[in-house]
């Protein structure tokens, strides 16, 4: 989710669910050690609980960055051992680390020694053509011996050669049964599942077998799917938001506050373009918030225009569309 789940995206999602654990986009240890720490680690207090996802392999670097995460107020540090991109492999982290469980275990130990917040690991069920259950079982066992208690398992292999990151989310088959088996074999560990899970019924079905479910792209593209999670899955008596318009209006308030700090509303709005997905007028509404010609307007003005377009979205001849989008 690099370049997707930034702090603006997480603030938006927190308006819809108060209790789901949110994860940052992956941040490399090199970026934190040699780059702008504030730019990478600053977040809104409203985001709690929020986990920093790290990419790296050197135990000392991981420990240093885990300490930074704790100092900045993150609630968890998550080590990414699942990203299959070639760029990540060249940095010797991501899914390729599954071939080096002892090194990952050393990194986990180093982070646990450095911080008091939880240290967790996200990984795949295998790499390349290695499809035996024993491979992922031994990987989890080695890290559990090092002290890791929480594993988020993407139920696909990562093919390190020949597939793009996008294809790696689609081509290797999903094998949920292997993740379910991990939970049976390691009942004391917290095992969460990830990969291809869409909708509340699918989440409920997985929770019959594992302790948690991580949702990525479905939560991003159809964020209103999060709306019932607090009540249905996370012990709340009510959901934080009853309707999408309330959420949109609250995010516009946030856009205005960010504008006072020099952040363009478009940097925030891009994360909510799926809010009205599947409802009448959603396409016209999305066109307004995506229209670069409107960037000179304030967020509240664009909100009013987008709402009007959504509510009055009768089909119009193409030669009227542009005029409709710039009505005062």
> What are the residues whose beta carbons fall under 8 Å from the beta carbon of 257, sequence distance 6 or more?
none
Same domain, 88 and 211: yes
Q: At what angle do helices 176-185 and 133-145 cross, to 10 degrees?
A: 40
**Residues 65 and 160 both lie in one domain:** yes
CB neighbour list of residue 228: distance below 8 Å, 6 or more residues apart: 200, 239
Tell me if 73 is assigned to some domain.
Answer: yes
Q: Tell me which of 233, 268, 294 is where a domain ends.
A: 233
Q: Residue 89 sits in a domain of what CATH number? A: 3.20.20.70
- Does residue 228 share a domain with residue 313? no
d(CA 28, CA 80): 10
CATH number of the domain where residue 309 is located? 1.20.120
Dihedral angle of Cα 302, 306, 309, 310, to the nearest 10 degrees: -170
Within a domain: 57 = yes
Note whether residue 239 is domain-resident: no
- Residues 172, 257 within the same domain: no
| pLDDT given at position 84 | 74
> Same domain, yes or no, for 143 and 170?
yes
1 belongs to a structural domain: no
Do 167 and 209 fall into the same domain? yes
Query: Is 290 within the bounds of a domain?
Result: yes
Query: Within its chain, how far is the Cα of 136 from the centroid?
Result: 23
Residue after which a domain boundary falls, among 233, 265, 295 = 233
Show the domain range for 289: 244-325
Are residues 91 and 38 part of one domain? yes
- Active-site residues, by number, are 83
Shared domain for 225 and 264, answered yes or no, is no
One domain for residues 275 and 216: no
pLDDT at 23: 97
- Do 41 and 174 have their domain in common? yes
pTM, to two decimals:
0.90
Residue 230: predicted pLDDT: 97
* pLDDT score at 280: 96
Two tokens at 286? Answer: 């999305």
Phi and psi of 57, rounded to 5°? -140, -20
- The DSSP code sequence of 82-115 is ----HHHHHTT-GGGGGG-HHHHHHHHHHHHHH-
Residue 2 lies in a domain: no
Task: Give the total number of structural domains in the chain.
Answer: 2
The predicted pLDDT at position 325 comes to: 43
Tell me: do 193 and 257 sit in the same domain: no
Regions of the chain with pLDDT less than 70: 1, 85-92, 162-163, 165, 169, 313-328
Does 83 lie in the same domain as 142?
yes
Looking at residue 94, what is its pLDDT? Answer: 84
> Which residues are CB-neighbours of 213 under 8 A, at least 6 positions away?
192, 193, 194, 197, 203, 206, 207
The predicted pLDDT at position 327 comes to 38
């Amino acid at each position: 989710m690099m370049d997707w789940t930034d702090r603006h995206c997480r603030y938006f999602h927190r308006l819809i669910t108060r209790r789901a654990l949110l994860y940052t986009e992956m941040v490399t240890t090199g970026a934190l050690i040699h780059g702008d720490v504030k730019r990478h680690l600053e977040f809104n207090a409203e985001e709690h609980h929020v986990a920093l996802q790290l990419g790296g392999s050197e135990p000392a670097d991981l420990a240093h960055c885990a300490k930074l995460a704790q100092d900045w107020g993150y609630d968890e540090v998550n080590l990414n051992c699942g990203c299959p991109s070639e760029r990540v492999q060249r940095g010797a982290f991501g899914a390729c680390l599954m071939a080096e469980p002892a090194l990952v275990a050393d990194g986990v130990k180093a982070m646990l020694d450095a911080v008091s917040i939880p240290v967790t690991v996200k990984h795949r069920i295998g790499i390349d053509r290695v499809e035996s259950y024993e491979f992922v079982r031994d990987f989890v066992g080695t890290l559990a011996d090092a002290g890791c208690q929480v594993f988020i398992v993407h139920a696909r292999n990562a093919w390190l050669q020949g597939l793009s990151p996008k294809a790696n989310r689609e081509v290797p088959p999903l094998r949920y049964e292997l993740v379910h088996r991990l939970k049976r074999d390691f009942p004391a560990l917290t095992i969460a599942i990830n990969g291809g899970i869409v909708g509340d019924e699918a989440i409920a079905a997985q929770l019959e077998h594992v302790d948690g479910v991580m949702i990525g792209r479905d939560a991003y593209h159809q964020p209103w799917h999060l709306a019932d999670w607090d009540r249905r899955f996370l012990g709340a008596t009510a959901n934080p938001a009853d309707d999408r318009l309330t959420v949109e209006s609250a995010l516009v308030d946030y856009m205005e506050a960010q504008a006072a700090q020099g952040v363009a509303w478009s940097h925030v709005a891009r994360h909510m373009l799926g809010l009205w997905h599947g409802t009448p007028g959603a396409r016209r509404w999305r066109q307004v918030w995506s229209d670069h010609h409107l960037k000179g307007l304030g967020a509240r003005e664009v909100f009013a225009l987008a709402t009007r377009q959504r509510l009055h979205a009768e089909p119009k001849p193409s030669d009227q569309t542009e005029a409709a989008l710039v009505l005062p």
